[in-house]
Amino acid sequence: MSKLLAIPLKKPSEVDVVKPLNNLIQSTYNGASAEEKSQYAEAVNDFSKQRNTAIWKFFEKYEASLEVVYAYYDQICALETKIAASELQIPFKWKDAFDKGSIFGGKISLTHTSILFEKVCVLFNIAALQSSVAASQHLDTDEGLKLAIKLLQQSAGIFQYLKGATPAAVPSEPTPDLSQDTLIVLQALMVAQAQEVFILKAIKDNMKDQIIAKLCCQGEEFYADVLRAMQKESVRNVWEKEWIPTVAGKQAGLHALTQLYQSLACRAAKKIGEEIARLRNAIELFKAAQTRGGNESYLDEYFSRAKRNLAESTKDNEFIYNEMIPELSTLASPGKAQLAKPLPIGVPMASNFKDIFTNLVPVELHRALTASDMRKNEIVNGEIMKLRESTQTLNAVLASLNLPAAVEATDSNSGLPPSLREKATEVREKGGIENIQTMLKDLPELLNRNREILDETERLLDEERDSDNQLRAQFKERWTRISSDKLTEMFRTNSKKYREVINNAIEADKVVRQKFEANQKGIELLSLPPEQIQQSLPSASGSVDQSCSSVQRLKQLMEAVDTIKAERDAVESELKSATFNMKDEFLHALQKDGAIDEPALSLARIGQTLSPLQAQVKESVERQQTLVADIQNAHGTFVSETGNCGSSRDKLYQELATAYDSYIELSGNLQEGTKFYNDLTQLLVVFQNKISDFVFARKTEKEELLKDLTTESSRQAPPATPALPSHYASTSGSGSDIPSTPASAPGAPPAMAPQQVPYPAQVHMPVPYGASANVPYPTYVPPPMPQSFNPYATLPYPGNYQYAGGFPQGPPPGSYGTYPGSYANQHGGYPNQKPPGW
């Protein structure tokens, strides 16, 4: 039989997968340790090497190449489950398998920033490679026959899968090799060829003639279906020039074999008349098969056998049987037997597949763990806020009553009360007013750093939009890709949210600064050495009798205040350290149900863990109400008994107590504020990296579209110049009024200006995966902002802002790379430089 047809390969292009994949993993798994991040980076590099090896291994058409490309496909499938695939901005470019280009160079190609597009193209090439390896087998051996049958059926299964997978992966118009009509033909062709090899094996195994006839009859029908599908208007110009003749020849050849083997069954049954009718038809079909296929030796062995059998049977019938030769139309079909069918894609395809990204958990599990941690932190932050607000209220009451300083003994009426002395010592140990002033001075620089990164990010978006709009205005309807404004709606929304976060942080900075200015005098005094503080105190109006009952009662109540504050510190510490591992529970739910009901599972565990601590918070807040009432009553008795209220020294003590509380609060606010700005920097750099990846992908699309427009334009031949009427040419001596010039030879048309070659009317560019008419770009849903304790617990800072969809998370402190994040630094020089292989 004739050689099997092998499907040509799609030609890939090299692309940098390292930077975009690292950026995505970094933003998704931002809580990873330094060691884990190093492992992730190593895995990404290995994945890049694996791709570079696999995409060129397709062109080494050996059985050993299959395992290499199988492993790369398996790795894509494994990676899909561990990242947000729609957020991976890698411009994968593949050329059409059947297009041969032109003298001007270039091929029909498509670029998509979707790993699903890469997966579809890799699958296509796997099926094509399987057909090539099958076509190279020695079909005179059992091993060759078995391998060819397996590979052809597997190839058919892949094309069957691609018919459903391609529309989802390529929402724009695909290249011709991935169109539905093409995939239908390729699937049918692989099944037909597998049936053909089954026939060869049946003949080799000396199966019954009737069975072989049925197999051939089914094979003939398969090839007839392929031939009809190949001649559809939408695909008839796609195929290699010899494909349609070859398929037509195979269809006629298998029909001839059907008649030949059915004639052998008739000979065995002594049906000589039917045998002769079938042999006559077989001979005609063998001739047609050789003519259609353009191969004079096609099935020559079987053709000769049919002619010999016809001669023998005709002679026997003339001298012995004298049977009537029936009309061919009256003969019954031998029946059909189908053995070939598409095989489902194996999972995994490679026999020894090993996942490079074993350290990454499934993305659904990671999202559930992140959401659970956010839910826990939200509850923890709420309880801590209750404790801190209650403590602030208690401190304000004590400061207004000058407690505990009013009931403490001083040294020779000139020193500070012990409580204020301790507070002054603590302020000095924490760096005094200079520490606050330094952090306040750093805030504008931190703010400007974040503002510059966001400005740079928005500039990238604006430049990409302006470039797209300019080319759209230049090429008008020929500029067919989706506009930047539609694609960047989510990016713009998140940019506005970040801008709002920064604006709110500016307002919070003002609140902090105002609070510092209001208490600056007291903080300055507390920052002085004890001797200078004593010099600043007004003279005492008298001493307090320490044995007075009201004094003793207030001291007892101050001890109760110290106790409740210590308890709250302990409860806050326990709240912050409360942890529970939901990984096993979530993983079990994912394996059992295929989904994770995170809210239900998380709330149940959070309740078990935090309920006792929440009860302590509630009891502490309620107990404070009684304590404050007792303090106010005891202080009233104290004033009435001692008359100690309202002196200048008492007022200064109150000012110092308030200044101390403000100092502690400001110190915490500014430390958390510095952390907030640093965390925001990391988030903005991750956001900027995503924008840079998007802009680079769009730049690649733009270059491809410009190239296609130019190539298609150059392929269009200029219209022929119409011939001028004969009477137009000037004739010597005719007295014509038309002047004669050197360029106007007789019969020659005058020189004409070169005609502008029009651009093609329409060129389809790729649309990123996940697009639709309403949402032409994959919805960008970044991870949430970090949810440790609220960075600015008592102020309206944006540390705990929660917008719809949240914000992307960044790397750990000190690892946010380039600042403010230039294009060249983050992307190795692009967009002005192309990565290797482009």
| CATH number for the domain harbouring residue 105 | 1.25.40.280
CB atoms within 10 A of CB 319: 8
Report d(CA 736, CA 823) in Å as an integer.
Answer: 70
Is the overall model pTM greater than 0.75, yes or no? no
Q: How far apart are CA 299 and CA 293, in angstroms?
A: 11
Alpha carbon distance 205, 212 (integer Å): 10
C-alpha separations of 505 from 452, 784, 812 in Å: 15, 18, 21
Binned at pLDDT 50, 70 and 90, residue 729 comes out as very low
**Domain CATH number, residue 636:** 1.20.120.560
User: Of 676, 694, 711, which marks where a domain is finished?
Assistant: 711
Are both 388 and 300 inside the same structural domain? Answer: no
| Angstrom distance (rounded) from CA 92 to CA 94 | 7
Longest dimension (CA), the chain: 153
386 and 448 both lie in a single domain = no
| Whether residues 252 and 225 fall in one domain | yes
Chain segment 153-210, per-residue pLDDT in tens: 999 999 999 999 999 888 778 889 999 999 999 999 999 999 999 999 999 999 999 9
Kindly report the CATH number assigned to the domain that includes residue 437.
Answer: 1.20.140.50
DSSP-based three-state secondary structure for 403: coil
Q: Are residues 45 and 69 in the same domain?
A: yes
Whether the pLDDT of residue 303 is over 60: the answer is yes
Give the separation between CA 372 and CA 767, rounded to whole angstroms: 34
In a domain, 427, yes or no: yes
Exposed/middle/buried for residue 285 (C-beta within 10 Å: 0-12, 13-18, 19+): buried
- Tokens in use for 727? 């009477």
247 in the same domain as 123: no
Q: Is residue 801 part of a domain?
A: no
Write down the pLDDT at residue 480: 72
Kindly report the average pLDDT of the chain as a whole number: 80
User: How far is it, in rounded angstroms, from Cα 568 to Cα 554?
Assistant: 21
| 212 and 192 housed in the same domain | no
Helix, strand, or coil (residue 642): helix
Residue 733 in any domain: the answer is no
Give the Cα separation of 196 and 231 in Å (integer).
21
What's the rounded Cα separation, in Å, for the pair 771 and 781?
A: 15
356 and 366 housed in the same domain: no
pLDDT of 620 = 93
Cα–Cα distance, 426 to 737 (Å, whole number): 113
pLDDT per residue as tens digits for the range 11-66: 998 899 999 998 888 877 776 778 888 899 999 999 999 999 998 888 888 888 99
Same domain, 299 and 394: no
Residues 21 and 118 in one domain: yes
* pLDDT tens, residue by residue, 513-554: 998 988 888 888 888 887 787 777 766 555 566 667 777 888
Residue 767 CA from chain centroid, whole number: 14
Residue from 192, 200, 87 nearest 140 by CA: 200
Specify whether 385 is located in the same domain as 449. Answer: no
Residue 445 in tokens: 């620089």
Residue 721 counted as domain residue: no
Answer yes or no: is 252 within a domain.
yes
The DSSP call for residue 344 is P
pLDDT for the residue 136? 93
The answer to whether position 718 is within a domain reads no
Identify the CA nearest to 46 among candidates 360, 352, 361, 355.
355
pLDDT in the model for residue 543:
57
Residues 211-234: tens digit of each pLDDT: 999 999 999 999 999 999 999 999
- Which tens digits make up the pLDDT trace of 76-94? 999 988 888 777 888 899 9
Is the N-terminal amide bond of 725 cis, ω within 30° of 0? no
Mean pLDDT, residues 348-356 taken together? 91
Q: What is the pLDDT of residues 646-691, one digit of tens each?
A: 566 677 777 888 888 888 889 888 988 898 999 899 889 888 888 8
Instruction: Give 506-515 pLDDT, tens digit per residue.
Output: 888 889 999 8
DSSP state of 405: G
Task: Determine the 3-state secondary structure of 716 from DSSP.
Answer: coil
Task: State the average pLDDT over residues 309-337.
Answer: 91
Identify the domain boundary among 628, 643, 658: 643
What local confidence, expressed as pLDDT, does residue 713 receive?
63
| Final residue in a domain of this structure, among 643, 662, 696 | 643
Determine the pLDDT at residue 531. Answer: 76
Q: Judge whether 147 and 156 are in contact, CB under 8 Å.
A: no
| pLDDT band at residue 788 using 50, 70 and 90 as cut-offs | very low
> How many CB atoms lie under 10 A from the CB of residue 33?
9
Contact 823, 694 (CB under 8 A): no
Q: Do 43 and 96 share a structural domain? A: yes
Residue 458 pLDDT > 80, yes or no? yes
Task: For residues 781 and 111, give the distance between their C-alpha atoms in angstroms, rounded to a whole number.
Answer: 23
Reported as type and span, the H/E element at residue 517 is helix 489-526
Task: Tell me the two tokens of residue 779.
Answer: 């919805």
- Under 8 Å between Cβ of 677 and 443: yes
Q: Which residues of 125-149 are buried (b: 16+ CB within 10 A; e: fewer)?
A: bbbbbbbbbbbbbebeeeebbebbb
φ, ψ for residue 92, nearest 5 deg? -75, 130
Q: How many CB atoms lie within 10 A of CB 729?
A: 17
Quick check: is 780 in a domain?
A: no
**What is the domain range of residue 566?**
362-401+550-643
Torsion sign over Cα 162, 165, 167, 173: negative
The pLDDT of residue 716 is 52
CA dist 698 and 695 (Å) reads 5
What is the model's pLDDT at position 107?
57
**Tokens coding 834:** 């192309």
Q: Is residue 608 part of a domain?
A: yes
DSSP secondary structure code for residue 12 in this structure: B
Q: Three-class SS of residue 101?
A: coil
* Angle (nearest 5°) at CA 817 between 811 and 819: 115
Distances (CA, A) of 612 to 513, 615, 729, 789: 38, 5, 108, 19
662 and 622 share one domain = no
Residue 719 has pLDDT above 60, yes or no: no
Number of structural domains the chain divides into: 4
pLDDT band at 262 (very low <50, low <70, confident <90, very high): very high
